[in-house]
Amino acid sequence: MKMFFLGLLLALSLAACETVETAGRKNQMDFDLKAYGHEVRWGQIEALPSYLRPDMIESQPAVAASPGNIRVTGYEVLVSPHQIGEDKNRVAQTVRINYIFRDRQVVRSLIDKQTWEWNADEKKWYRSNPIPVFR
């Protein structure tokens, strides 16, 4: 009987650790995706590559020819972050970004289908697909 309770206690402890780890990963996802959205929304276009997986930064094309010429007027989450398949370390979200070119007052809109991967060592989410180009 004593072994049964010890086994039960061990199982509950492991389940609690999994729950705490999952909650921490979700909280960090919320933080990282909101920070990325904030950078876009407030025109910090040149900072976006820092959210990419480190191995992708060099291959990322320039997000805009002249980032200072872009004024973002809207950042709307169309599809909330959701897990991709069975992998708890990958999520996707879709957003619409509305922006104008300051010099031409041309209004543009793009749909940004984002995928994000969890880096357990750094406890950080990285974007794992290219950042769209503002044209």
116, part of any domain: yes
- Domain residues for the domain of 28 are 2-127
d(CA 93, CA 85): 13
**How many distinct structural domains can be found in the chain?**
1
Structural contact between residues 69 and 62, judged by C-beta atoms closer than 8 angstroms:
no
Q: What is the pLDDT of residues 72-102, one digit of tens each?
A: 999 999 999 999 988 889 999 999 999 999 9
Does the CA dihedral 100-103-106-108 come out positive or negative?
negative
In percent, the amount of the chain with pLDDT more than 70 equals 87
CA angle, 132 then 96 then 94, to 5°: 80
Please check whether residue 134 lies inside any domain of the structure: no
CATH code: domain of residue 116? 3.10.450.50
Contact (CB, 8 A) for 17 and 110: no
Q: pTM of whole model > 0.85?
A: no
Q: Is 10 within a domain?
A: yes
Please report whether residue 29 resides in a domain. Answer: yes
CB contact at 8 A, 54 and 83 = no
pLDDT digits (tens, 9 = 90+) for 103-115: 998 899 999 999 9
Looking at residue 87, what is its pLDDT? 87
CB 85 within 8 A of CB 60: no
H or E element at residue 33: helix 2-41
Residue 10: band (very low, low, confident or very high) from pLDDT cuts 50, 70, 90: low
Give residue 65's pLDDT.
87
